[in-house]
Structure 1
Amino acid sequence: MVNAAFEQIKAFAATADDSDRRNLITSLRGLASSFEDPMEIIHRLGCGTLGSATVEIGLDLGLFKYLADAKSPLGVSQLAEQTGADAPLLTRIIRYLAATNVIDETGPGQFAANSVTKTLASDLGVAGVYHYLKTASPTHSVLPSFLKKTNYKNPSDDSHAPFQDAFNTGLHPYAWFSSHPENLKYFNDLMALRRKSNESWLSVYPVEEATKGWSADNAVYVNIGGSIGHQCAQFKETYPHVPGRVILQDLAHSIAQALPTAGVENMVHNFWDPQPVQGAKLYYMRAVLHNHPDHKVLKLLRLTKEAMGPDSILLIDEMILPETGVKADVTTLDLTMMSAFASAERTEKDWTALFEQAGLRLVKTYAYNKAQYESVMDVRLLEG
C-alpha cells in the first residue's frame, strides 16, 4: 500500500509544473514531520548544523564531484584514495550523508550520486552552498544573541545588524565583501547562475505597448544598480527595435566589468545620489530594494521619483510574499536579508505602503515566476 502511494506521488511529480512541485514538497515535508515522535523532532531540529558541516566537508574533499563523475558506484577505499581522507573517517562521513539522502548507498560500502549529489557537484551548487556556509550561516548563528541583546526589536539599522556581530566588523556587508574576495566570488557566482533564462519580467511586461511612440533621443530604459548589465543585454536582445537610449548604472567597479552589449550606455552612478537621467520612460530595479531597510528604500524611491516625468514608469522587480503560507526557502531568504542588511522580503501591502509614502502608486503587478513569488511592479507618480 505504501509503495503504491509512493509511486502515485512520483508519477504526479513527474508531470507537475514548478508551482505544483513546490507545493507537493511542502505537503510531504509537513506530512513527514507529523509522523515524528518527540525525540525524532528534537534530533532533526537540534542537529541541523551537522548536516551543513558534513556537506562542507564533502565539498572541501571534492567528494560529490568524484561520485557525480563516476560511471558506476564507488567504494570507500576508492573515495579515500581520490580524496586523500582517512578511510575510517570517510566511512563515518559518507554513512551520515547517505542516511540524510545527500548520496545513495547502493550496497555494502558502495555509494553513488543522486540528484542532491549532482547539484553539489555543479558550479551552482558549489557557489550557493559555500555562500551560505561561509557568509550567511555565521549571521544566522548570532541571530538569537543579537535579538536578545536588542530586546527582540525588528532590525532596521543596516550598520548594526547580526552581520556586524557575526564578523566583528563595523562595515556594511558590501563594503566587507571588498576585502573578502572569496566570499564575494561565491556570492557573485550564485547570483549569476541561479536564474533560469526563461524567468524574466520581459516575458510578461508589455514593453512595446508602454514605449510606443517614444523618442529615440530620450532614455527608454535605465537599469539602476544593474551590476554588469545582464538585464540590459536581455532588454536589447528581446526588444532590439524599441526606440530610445538603454542605460546601465552601477558603481565604478561593476561598470568596469560591464558586458560589451551593443547599444547599451554604461554609466557610473551611485544610486544614493540624485538620478542624473531625467524623464526616462522605464526606470528599472531588480532585487535592489530588498537589500535595504524601509527608510533607505524610501530614500531611493524618492530620488528616482524626482527624476521621473509624467510619462515615466518605475519598474520594481522583487519578490512579493503572500499574506499566508509562504514557502520555507523564501522565509529563509527573508530572515537572511534581515540578518545581513536589517532588510526584508515584502508583501504587496508592504510595497504599496512604501510607494505611497514616497509619493508613488502601484498600478499593476506582473508575476513571472509564481513559484518564487517574483513579479515586476508597474509604479507611477501618485498624481499621474
Structure 2
Amino acid sequence: MDAILEQLRALALQADDAGRHKVLDFMRDLRLQLETPHDTLSRFSGMHLEITVARMGEDLDIFKHLAESEQPLNIEALATKTGAAHSLLGHILRYLASVGMIHETGPGTFTANGVTRTLAQPGYRGGIYHFFDNIGPIFQAFPAFLAETKYQDINDPTKTPFQKAFATDRPAFQWLPSQPERFAHIQQVMTVQGAHGAPWFSIFPFEKEIDSFSGSPVLVDVGGGFGHQCTALLTALPQLRDKLILQDLPQTLELLQSHPDGIEVTPHNFFEPQPVKDARFYYLRTVLHDYPDDKCIAILKHLVDAFGPDSHILIDEMVLPTAGVPWEATTIDLTMMACLGARERTVAEWHTLLDAAGLRVERIDTYSPRRRDSIIQAVPK
C-alpha cells in the first residue's frame, strides 16, 4: 500500500494544473467515501477551528517568522519573537503542524512549508482576516436569518445575513468602507483571487482584439481595486503603457501603497455616469456578482452610454453550468447571497441580464475550468 501511495504522490506532483485539480477532486471524493460517521463529525468540528487558529497564527506573525528563517525555530525562539506565553504557543504550534500549516521538524521545533509561505504573503494573510472577521460572522448569522425570513429568496442588499451579523441597516459596500481595517483585508485578498493558472488575457484573444485599435484608452478597469489586473496586463504587454485606466472608489484607492507606473488611476463610482469615453474595452472583474440584476443593469448602461464605435465590455466572472457546479463556485454563490443579496450566474442568466442592458454575448472564453471563471465579451445588440 505504501509503495502504491508513493507512486500516486509522485505522479500527482508531476501533473499540470488541470491534472492537479483532477487529483484534488479525486482525493476529496475518496475521503468522503472512506469516512465513518465519526470521521464526518470530526471534520465538521474542525472547520471553524482551522480558520480561527490560522487567524491566531497571523496575529502572532508565526507564518512570517518561520518563512523568513533559514533554520527551524523552537518554541523558545518563537515565544521571544511573538511575546506569547511558552505553554500557550506550544498548543497553537502543535495544532498548526497537525493540519499542515507549518512543519514540525522535531519535539518543539518547527519550520516553514509551502502553506506557511503562502500565509506569510500579504494577499493571503488578508484572506485569513477577511474570512474570519468579515465572512465568519455572516455565515454564523445565515441560518437564523433564513428562519426569520421563512426561507424566502435573498435579493435585497439591505436585507441579508450581513445586516444581522453586523447590526447595521446599511448594505455591505456602504458599511465596509467605514471599517478601514476590514475593508483593507478585502482589497488584499482580491489581489490574489484567481492568481494561479492561465491569465484571462492568454485565453481570450486580447492582443488580437486590440491590434487594429489606434485610440486610447485600450482598457478601463472598472472597480479594479488595487489594479492587479492592469499590472498583469502591462507586464505581459508593455505596449499598453499609458493606455490603461484603473477606476475604483476614493476610499479604495487611498489604500494603494503606490500608484502603478504607466497606469492612470482615477476615482470613480460605477453607479454614476462613466467619465471615460470611447475605450476599446471596459473591464469588470468580479463586480456584477456583487449585485442583483437591477443594479447590474444600471452599471452596464452607464458603460454603454460611454461607448465609442469600437467599444465592448469584458465581464470577468463565473459562468455556471446548469448541473454539476464545482464546490468552489457553489461556495462563492452562497457567500454572495449571504453578504450582498447577489449570486453567481448561469450562461442563460448572463444572456438574460445582458439583453436587458442592451447588450448581447459575442463570445465566452473559460480560462479556469475548475471554477468556471470566464471572460464574457458583450457588444451592443
> Pairwise mapping of residues 15-54 of structure 1 onto structure 2 (< 5 A)?
15-54=14-53
Deviation at 1:315, TM superposition (A): 1.1
Contact 1:286–1:316 under 8 Å retained in 2: yes
Q: Bigger shift: 34-43 or 274-283?
A: 274-283
AA aligned to 1:251 is L
Partner of 1:296: 295
AA aligned to 2:188 is D
Contact 2:259–2:265 under 8 Å retained in 1: no
Q: Distance in 2 between matches of 1:223 and 1:66?
A: 36
Partner of 1:113: 112
Partner of 1:223: 221
Partner of 2:163: 164
AA aligned to 1:114 is N
Deviation at 1:149, TM superposition (A): 1.3
Give the 3 Å change call, closer, same or farther, for CA 242–176 of structure 1 in structure 2. closer
Contact 1:215–1:244 under 8 Å retained in 2: no
Partner of 2:179: 180
Give the 3 Å change call, closer, same or farther, for CA 271–75 of structure 1 in structure 2. closer
AA aligned to 1:224 is V
Deviation at 1:236, TM superposition (A): 5.1
| Candidates 242, 249, 252, aligned match of 1:251 | 249
Give the 3 Å change call, closer, same or farther, for CA 7–289 of structure 1 in structure 2. same
2:220 is paired with a residue whose SS is strand
Q: Distance in 2 between matches of 1:227 and 1:113?
A: 30
Percent sequence identity is 38
> Pairwise mapping of residues 55-204 of structure 1 onto structure 2 (< 5 A)?
55-194=54-193, 196=195, 199-204=198-203
Contact 1:215–1:243 under 8 Å retained in 2: no
1:361 is paired with a residue whose SS is strand
1:319 is paired with a residue whose SS is strand
Q: Distance in 2 between matches of 1:40 and 1:71?
A: 37
Structure 1: 5+ residue stretches without partners: none
Give the 3 Å change call, closer, same or farther, for CA 7–214 of structure 1 in structure 2. same
AA aligned to 1:172 is P
AA aligned to 2:126 is A
AA aligned to 1:105 is E
2:322 is paired with a residue whose SS is coil
Partner of 1:336: 335
Output the TM-score relative to the length of structure 2: 0.86
Contact 1:220–1:243 under 8 Å retained in 2: no
1:274 is paired with a residue whose SS is coil
1:142 is paired with a residue whose SS is helix
Q: Distance in 2 between matches of 1:88 and 1:242?
A: 55
Give the 3 Å change call, closer, same or farther, for CA 350–4 of structure 1 in structure 2. farther
Contact 1:360–1:379 under 8 Å retained in 2: yes
Cα shift readout 1:98-146 (whole Å, capped 9, x = no counterpart): 3323333344444333322332233233221111111111111111111
Deviation at 1:43, TM superposition (A): 2.0
Contact 1:131–1:186 under 8 Å retained in 2: yes
1:283 aligns with 2:282: yes
Contact 2:283–2:316 under 8 Å retained in 1: yes
Cα shift readout 1:296-353 (whole Å, capped 9, x = no counterpart): 1122223333443564322111122333443333332222222221112222222122
Structure 2: 5+ residue stretches without partners: none
Q: Distance in 2 between matches of 1:172 and 1:105?
A: 44
Q: Bigger shift: 363-372 or 74-83?
A: 74-83
Contact 1:365–1:378 under 8 Å retained in 2: yes
Partner of 2:8: 9
2:168 is paired with a residue whose SS is coil
Partner of 2:372: 373
Q: Bigger shift: 138-147 or 104-113?
A: 104-113
Contact 2:67–2:117 under 8 Å retained in 1: yes
AA aligned to 1:156 is N
> Pairwise mapping of residues 338-377 of structure 1 onto structure 2 (< 5 A)?
338-377=337-376
Cα shift readout 1:19-53 (whole Å, capped 9, x = no counterpart): 22122112112212222211221121134212222
AA aligned to 1:358 is A
AA aligned to 1:13 is A
Q: How many residues align?
A: 379
Q: Distance in 1 between matches of 2:82 and 2:355?
A: 57
Give the 3 Å change call, closer, same or farther, for CA 352–73 of structure 1 in structure 2. same
Cα shift readout 1:167-195 (whole Å, capped 9, x = no counterpart): 11122223222222211222222222445
1:178 is paired with a residue whose SS is helix
Cα shift readout 1:265-312 (whole Å, capped 9, x = no counterpart): 554432212334455432221221111122211222233334435643
Contact 1:293–1:344 under 8 Å retained in 2: yes
2:42 is paired with a residue whose SS is helix
User: RMSD between aligned alpha carbons?
Assistant: 3.0
2:282 is paired with a residue whose SS is strand
Q: Bigger shift: 125-134 or 370-379?
A: 370-379
AA aligned to 1:335 is L
Deviation at 1:158, TM superposition (A): 0.9
Output the TM-score relative to the length of structure 1: 0.86
AA aligned to 2:223 is G
